[in-house]
């Protein structure tokens, strides 16, 4: 099983060590306290990450200094806005080593990116009896769009099962590829189990079977080096709000040839070259897929987030989160009686730890922890089929980022012990 960090170049030396205590000073929200007077302990980064000052200032700078539409006006404010927007596209491309910025399509989030591919590529290439291969660990965003496509086109969905340890059964995957699927779509990192999937190996297998590959990178891009050229996938999607950027920002990367062949996802202003009463000619990529006025400030903020992460060094980010995950998986079973952890060993996962306390609903766990300022997710994490696979109604989930420190994991363990004591009374 390949680790996320295998996407880094082999000639690199040991990554520089991050100082999360210094990094925390970049995140103003960490200075806040809750209604009980407790400082914020944010362990829900897999849902939405916090925003550093650099991102906040980038968004505020657009709104204060050059708020204007893009790709339209020829006055100074408009040209400055257009320049900042396209600079954000270039930064996003550098973050994932895309061959060119034009292959980055800005969207609101990874969900919209997957829907774009499903509607623009899927509805034109999936026909009666054609199959799409997914996995049991997919986020709903990488499941429901494909359900709609195969229902409309009378196609089929096939699923790679998950082992009890939270790993994909690659022997079954190999068998499913004998069906000659048109598309294989799977997550880079599971948002519930934390499993880091062997993307490059799976892509090579899919291509050998004649399938295109879409990767959901929402839980990978913020946390480790991602090189789309090295991974070899055809489509790669991710969200800005999970990588220290604003909500309403995200990106689809796809190979130029695919984007040029795909029809528009939405129609309107900016995605056209010429419009006549009875026909229109489409704009060049990526603008063909960016109809109407986008959330300009959010995408500028996403560019600032990409720049911030690259300055930290993604190898260093991955090393920091690997240490935190290892620490959490050592401390929680030792310090919390009866806790049940789900997913693979620490070295095979990203910075996500899902768990349950027997006999205590995760919603109760999260609500009690909130009194201590601890924020974590409770529910099915948009992975209901995966919870069904493990016969779980819900789980609690702690997830980490560059601003997470070991003391917060200690506080989580102490808070969980309190939860156990409360329910044992």
Strands 250-254 and 104-107: antiparallel
Cβ-proximal residues to 137 (8 Å cutoff; 6+ apart), any chain: 162, 166, 168, 186, 187, 190, 192, 193, 195, 383, 386
Domains defined along the chain, listed by start: 4-51+313-424 (3.90.1150.10), 55-311 (3.40.640.10)
Instruction: Examine the pLDDT at 8 and tell me if it is beyond 70.
Output: no
pLDDT for 145-165, tens place per residue? 999 999 999 999 999 999 999
Instruction: Examine the pLDDT at 3 and tell me if it is beyond 60.
Output: no
pLDDT average, residue stretch 221-249:
98
Q: What pLDDT does residue 10 have? A: 41
Q: What pLDDT does residue 4 have? A: 63
What percent of the chain is predicted at pLDDT more than 90?
94
Q: What pLDDT does residue 35 have? A: 86
Instruction: Examine the pLDDT at 6 and tell me if it is beyond 60.
Output: no
CA distance 186 to 134: 6
pLDDT average, residue stretch 128-153:
98
- For residue 375, indicate whether it is catalytic: no
Is 0.85 surpassed by the pTM of this model? yes
pLDDT average, residue stretch 68-97:
96
| Cβ(211)–Cβ(232) below 8 Å | no
Out of 205, 382, 392, 405, the active site residue is 382
Q: What are phi and psi of 266, to 5 degrees?
A: -130, 160
> Mean of the per-residue pLDDT values for the chain?
95
Q: Round the CA-based radius of gyration of the chain to a whole number and report it.
A: 22
Q: Residue 36: pLDDT band by 50, 70, 90 thresholds? A: confident
Q: What pLDDT does residue 360 have? A: 96
Q: What pLDDT does residue 424 have? A: 85
Q: What pLDDT does residue 9 have? A: 40
Mark out the alpha helices in 255-337 (DSSP H runs).
256-261, 296-312, 314-335
Report which of 254, 302, 257 is spatially closest to residue 109, judged by C-alpha positions. 302
């Amino acid at each position: 099983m390949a680790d996320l960090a295998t996407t880094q170049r082999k000639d690199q030396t040991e990554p520089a060590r991050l100082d999360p205590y210094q990094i925390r000073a970049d995140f103003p929200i960490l200075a806040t306290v809750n209604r009980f007077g407790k400082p914020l302990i944010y362990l829900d980064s897999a849902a939405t990450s916090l925003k550093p000052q650099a991102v906040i200032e980038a968004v505020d700078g657009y709104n204060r200094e050059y708020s204007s539409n893009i790709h339209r006006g020829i006055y100074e404010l408009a040209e400055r806005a257009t320049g900042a927007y396209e600079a954000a596209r270039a930064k996003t491309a550098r973050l994932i080593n895309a061959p060119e910025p034009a292959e980055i399509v800005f969207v609101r989030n990874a969900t919209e990116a997957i829907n774009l591919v499903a509607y623009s590529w899927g509805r034109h290439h999936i026909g009666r009896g054609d199959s799409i291969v997914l996995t049991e660990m997919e986020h709903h965003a990488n499941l429901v769009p494909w359900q709609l496509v195969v229902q409309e086109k009378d196609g089929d969905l096939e699923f790679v099962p998950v082992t009890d340890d939270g790993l994909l059964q690659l022997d079954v995957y190999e068998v499913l590829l004998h069906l000659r699927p048109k598309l294989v779509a799977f997550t880079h990192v599971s948002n519930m189990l934390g499993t880091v999937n062997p993307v490059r190996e799976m892509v090579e297998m899919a291509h050998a079977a004649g399938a295109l590959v879409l990767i959901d990178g929402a839980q990978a891009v913020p946390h480790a080096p991602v090189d789309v050229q090295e991974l070899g996938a055809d489509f790669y999607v991710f969200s800005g709000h999970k990588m220290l950027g604003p909500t309403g920002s995200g990106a689809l990367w796809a190979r130029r040839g695919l984007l040029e062949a795909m029809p528009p996802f939405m129609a309107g202003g900016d995605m056209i070259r010429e419009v006549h009463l009875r026909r229109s000619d489409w704009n060049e990529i990526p603008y063909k897929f960016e109809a109407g006025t986008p959330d300009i400030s959010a995408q500028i903020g996403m560019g600032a987030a990409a720049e911030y992460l690259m300055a930290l060094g993604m190898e260093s980010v991955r090393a920091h989160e690997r240490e935190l995950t290892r620490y959490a998986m050592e401390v929680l079973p030792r310090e919390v009686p009866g806790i049940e952890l789900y997913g693979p060993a620490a070295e095979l996962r990203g910075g996500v730890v899902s768990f349950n306390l027997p006999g205590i609903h995760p919603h109760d766990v999260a609500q009690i922890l909130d009194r201590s300022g601890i924020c974590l997710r409770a529910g099915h994490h948009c992975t209901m089929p995966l919870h069904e696979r493990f016969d779980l109604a819900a789980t609690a989930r702690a997830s980490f980022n560059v601003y997470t420190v070991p003391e917060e994991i200690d506080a989580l363990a102490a808070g969980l012990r309190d939860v156990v004591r409360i329910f044992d009374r």
